[in-house]
Amino acid sequence: MYLLEEKIYFWLLCIIPVLVLLFIFLSYWRYRAQRKYAEKHMLSHLIPDRSWFKPILKLVTVSVGILFLVIALVNLKAGTKIETIKREGVDIVFAVDISKSMLAEDIAPSRLEKSQQLVTQIINNLASDRIGLIAYAGSAVPQLPITTDYSSAKMFLQSMNTDLVSSQGTAIAEAIQLAESYYSEDTEASKVLVIISDGEDHEGEALDYAEAAAENGIRIITIGVGTQKGGTIPIKRNGIVREFKKDKDGNTVITRLNSETLEEIASVGNGVYIDGTITASVIEKLKEELSGIDKVEFESQQYADFESQFQWFLGFGLFFLFLDIFYLEKKTAWLKKLNLFNE
């Protein structure tokens, strides 16, 4: 089993195509400059020891070196065996609102991105709890079942967007109903549902479902994302705001945080409401709430003995970059005699 720890460093591979384009440009510029002084068939006589193959070899060597260094930064880890381990924790399901109103930018960078940041930081601060993931708008869709795989959870979380659910609206009730199906009936683990939303509920049945979920032992914690002042809903194309969402009368829609609804849901769900403006405050309050919940022991399987393999790739990367120093652009004497490349 292999694990890539810091995938963001793969973006550094963009350096390679940039080097290739720069090499092509410089080669063309040099060729044009040389043609000013001599015809093509005369260049081999004017610079007889110049190798036309060595620059390409140098480019390939540097590119391979960069590739290995990037893999070293990504920190490839290898797991050698599957091990059953025992953990103590609770089952937490995150229900994230992905309705169009979550595109409002009254809280930076936007309500949806703020929600993603909040859940990511919460996951980073969990120890041994199992987590699940739900996305909802006009309907609720499962994203990740109850698991201890935090990396997968964060990957699914970052892929959430408002186009994930075709029907628009905010069906908090349906998200609660779907969350109930996430928890195993025979588990003794405490059940927690964390709803992250701006509180706009277009179905109006959330309180009834929250009360029913509480009777089934599910504690509901709500996190409000947005402001009372509210904001417009931008409609973007290619990352550029083209217009703002309007109602049927042509008026620009202003969406506001409905904290009252979220507070009521948390109240009947035996939980608490948390203002999502300050990330550190959210994490602290959620930790405080989870600390008061009884944790049970459960078993999970995972790959054990993960060991970093970056040192191998770092060594190969430095070797190829060091090797490039010894490549001269003139022909090698003994290779010149063999004329392997017909130079």
Q: Could you read off the pLDDT of 130-157 as tens digits, one per residue? A: 899 999 988 899 999 988 888 889 989 9
Residue of higher predicted confidence among 81 and 20: 20
Residue 263 lies in a domain: yes
Report CA dihedral (43, 49, 51, 55) to the nearest 10 degrees.
-100
pTM listed for this prediction: 0.63
Domain that holds residue 40: 2-79+307-338
Assess whether 44 and 177 both reside in one domain: no
pLDDT value at 271 more than 60: yes
Average pLDDT for residues 194-209, to the nearest whole number?
84
Torsion-angle region of 145 (φ positive above 0: left; ψ -120 to 50: alpha; else: beta): beta
Residue 154 lies in a domain: yes
| Helix or strand holding residue 189 (H, E) | none
Assess whether 112 and 191 both reside in one domain: yes
Residue 157 lies in a domain: yes
Residue 17 lies in a domain: yes
Assess whether 95 and 237 both reside in one domain: yes
For the packed helices 279-291 and 111-124, what is the interaxial angle rounded to 10 degrees? 50
- Identify the pLDDT of residue 298: 62
Q: What is the pLDDT of residues 318-333, one digit of tens each?
A: 998 888 777 666 555 5
- Identify the pLDDT of residue 2: 64
pLDDT value at 97 more than 90: yes
Distance CA 297, CA 309 (A): 33
257: closest CA among 203, 207, 200, 201? 200
Residue 30 is encoded by which pair of tokens? 């040099």
Alpha-helical regions (H) of the chain: 15-35, 40-46, 54-74, 111-124, 150-158, 172-182, 206-215, 259-268, 279-291, 310-325, 333-338
Assess whether 89 and 218 both reside in one domain: yes
Q: Which residues pair with residue 89 across a beta bridge? A: 296
Assess whether 135 and 159 both reside in one domain: yes
Residue 343 lies in a domain: no
The count of structural domains within the chain is 2
Residue 28 is encoded by which pair of tokens? 């063309």
**Spacing of C-alpha 71 from chain mean position:** 18
